[in-house]
Amino acid sequence: MDLPLHTDVPPRVLQLVQTHFPVLPVPFVPEIRLHKAVPTSGLWRLAEIDETGFGAPYWAHHWGGGTALARYIFDHPDIVAGRRVLDLGSGSGIVGIAAAKTGARDVICADTDKYAVAVARLNAAINEVAVSTVVGDVTADAPPEVDAVLIGDLFYEPDLAARVTAFADRCLTAHIEVVVGDPWRAFLPRSRLQVLAEYVVPDFGDGDGKSAVFRFKPG
């Protein structure tokens, strides 16, 4: 399936992803298949192609919070079925794809990394679902017209955690539900979260394999 991809991404990068990043089932979420970096993928080659625009390739790996949140969505599809959904910090698109596969009416995958957005579209096509994509920091603006915001693995730095928390508060004020997946990283606003489920899932980061899904609560 050919999809129009973000025009700032060099075509050679996408060709390398499609050629050298195998499409594999996600551990713990086998309903989804994604392009995944493996030792022979040669991530360094992507940086050589675009020296000024290629950042940390978070989209190339599985992260505990996103994996847990995707699993929760498949196990509890009622949180997205028939709803408009924003996947904030979408990375590979795993959470948005899970929402689309379980009946979400519309899915927006938003990320500040143009490569993440492009790969999320590739991954959505592999999984035979449609998503809309946005490149940029949507936390700086008013919440979009959605019913639910899904946030996986965005509490790993203090400034980012503060921005995401403030955005989540604006979402609650607009009567938008906020659901978070995270492996209990240091800057998680724990007092604002209600645990919905806990899992032991693979994590590429510094977690110990324990991740949880939370509902964000008013302060």
Report if residue 92 sits inside a domain. Answer: yes
Tell me what pLDDT residue 92 has.
97
Residue 18 in domain: yes
Predicted structure pTM score: 0.92
The dihedral over CA atoms of 122, 92, 160, 171, expressed in degrees to the nearest 10, equals: 80
pLDDT at 38 over 50: yes
The pLDDT, as a whole number, for residue 52 is: 67
Rounded to whole angstroms, how far apart are CA atoms 107 and 115? 18
So what's the pLDDT on residue 205?
A: 65
Q: What is the model's pLDDT at position 103?
A: 98
6 belongs to a structural domain? no
Tell me, yes or no, whether 3 lies in a domain: no
pLDDT exceeds cutoff 60 at 111: yes
The answer to whether residue 59 is domain-embedded is yes
81 vs 208, which has greater pLDDT? 81
What is the tens place of the pLDDT at every residue in 121-144? 999 999 999 999 999 999 999 999
Domain count, the chain: 1
* 178 SS3 class: strand
Return the amino acid letter for 174.
A
pLDDT of 53: 66
Average pLDDT over residues 91-109: 98
Structural domain span for residue 60: 11-216
Whether 131 maps to a domain, the answer reads yes
Asked if 68 and 54 touch (Cβ cutoff 8 Å), the reply is no
The reported pLDDT for the residue numbered 8 is: 73
Residue 1 covered by a domain: no
**CATH code of the domain in which 80 resides:** 3.40.50.150
Q: How many CA atoms, within 13 angstroms, populate the side-chain half-sphere of residue 188?
A: 24
pLDDT of residue 51: 66
The reply to whether 46 falls in a domain is yes
pLDDT tens digits for range 41-90: 877 777 777 766 667 788 989 999 999 999 999 999 999 999 999 999 99
Find the mean pLDDT for residues 27-46: 89
- Residue with tokens 């004020």, as numbered in its chain: 173
Percent of the chain with pLDDT over 90: 74
- Asked if residues 155 and 178 have their Cβ atoms less than 8 Å apart, the reply is no
